[in-house]
Amino acid sequence: MNEQYANHYRILGIRPGASWKELRKAYKGLVNVWHPDRFQQNIEQRKLAEEKTKEITQAYKELAEYYKKFGGLPGPSKVAETFPAENIAPHETPETRPAPDIQETQVPAADGASPQTHEKRWSKFEARTLAVTALAGFVYFVWQILPWDRSDIPPPPKKQAEQTADAPIDDNSNRREPAPEKYFTYGSPLGEVYAIQGVPTRTERDIWYYGKSKVYFSKGKVLRWEDSPDSPLRVMAAAENDKLNTMFFSEGSSKEQVLAVQGAPDRDAENVWDYGASRVYFDNNRVKGWDESPFNPLRVRR
């Protein structure tokens, strides 16, 4: 036996002249141990595993070709050789996974001898598939071949099947109804206006601008708005709240009522609000009086 085959035996961890089953068993066991997928977490060990796998596969391939050609594996040489266990798995390898079964049906023997037939191994999946197929064939045989009375089986409902086949296909059956549009109104909070109308163009104290439209707030809720056709607002005014635009304020009215009726002041000095040349005076956040200019009329109850 030459040194090449002796080295193959050392790599696979078996002695010269081993049987075909011993060779296959050693090969599958070593491929299981040194498979690169088991060393994903360690790059160095993965590289080593890839080299080992190539070495093991090459040794097995050459010995298998020798077996197919001569009907047996190379025998031991006259010089006694030792075969140390080289293919021991690295430390802390994960649990081995079953390697795919290598099926060999026939291997030709040397000198024209009859080929040697090896036992074919069936996987669990193949065995279950075969069992299910056999059971299905048996049921079909009992149903179709053996004579028995089928008169008790009611015929399928033809009318219902015909109605189902003749029924027109509704193309709109899978269409979803569009979601109803949402609007904000008087008293809607800031978050609701933001969710419905979107990000304002700019903000100025309690006023949100959407292009040329404006939304006025008081204590975080909508007091009123000015809707421009160039930048329409998604608002819906309730019938009762529409009266706010025609209301008047008077002495004792709160600041919120003045904002709802007159709008935001041009200048806010706490107790004095200016609307152009007109002025409204407050005491404890209640209207105390006003100075009205004909150029800037106030909506007060006279």
pLDDT digits 0-9 by tens, 231-278: 999 988 654 444 444 578 999 999 888 888 888 899 998 899 999 999
Residue with tokens 């959407």: 210
Which pLDDT belongs to residue 142? 57
Please, what is the Cα angle at 98 between 96 and 101, to 5 degrees?
A: 150
Most confident of the following: 108-122, 150-164, 187-201, 246-260: 187-201
Higher pLDDT: 264 or 103? It is: 264
> pLDDT class for 91, splitting at 50, 70, 90?
very low
Nearest to 105 by CA among 117, 95, 92: 117
pLDDT at 92 over 60: no
Q: How far apart are CA 297 and CA 278, in angstroms?
A: 7
Higher pLDDT: 85 or 70? It is: 70
> How many CB atoms are located within 10 Å of the residue 32 CB?
15
**What is the C-alpha end-to-end distance of the chain, expressed in Å?**
125
Spatial contact of 35 and 99, defined as CB atoms under 8 Å apart: yes
- Weakest mean pLDDT among 1-5, 103-107, 231-235: 103-107
Which pLDDT belongs to residue 132? 85
Higher pLDDT: 99 or 198? It is: 198
Residue with tokens 């000095």: 269
Spatial contact of 120 and 100, defined as CB atoms under 8 Å apart: no
What mean pLDDT comes out for the span 272-290?
A: 94
Higher pLDDT: 163 or 52? It is: 52
What mean pLDDT comes out for the span 112-120?
A: 45
Nearest to 50 by CA among 82, 23, 90: 90
Structural domains of the chain, ranges and CATH numbers in brackets: 3-115 (1.10.287), 190-291 (no CATH)
> pLDDT class for 175, splitting at 50, 70, 90?
low
Which pLDDT belongs to residue 106? 43
Spatial contact of 295 and 277, defined as CB atoms under 8 Å apart: yes
Token pair listed for 292: 């009205």
Q: Which amino acid is at 29?
A: G
Higher pLDDT: 184 or 223? It is: 184
Q: How far apart are CA 212 and CA 229, in angstroms?
A: 8
> pLDDT class for 153, splitting at 50, 70, 90?
low
Q: How far apart are CA 245 and CA 91, in angstroms?
A: 84
The overall average pLDDT reported for the chain is 76
Bridge-based pairing of strands 213-218 and 221-226 is antiparallel
pLDDT digits 0-9 by tens, 5-54: 888 889 988 988 888 999 899 999 998 888 888 888 888 888 999 999 99
Q: Which residues contact 203 (CB under 8 A, 6 or more apart)?
A: 209
State how far the alpha carbon of 131 is from the alpha carbons of 119, 126, 135, 136, 145, in Å.
20, 9, 6, 9, 21
pLDDT at 145 over 70: no
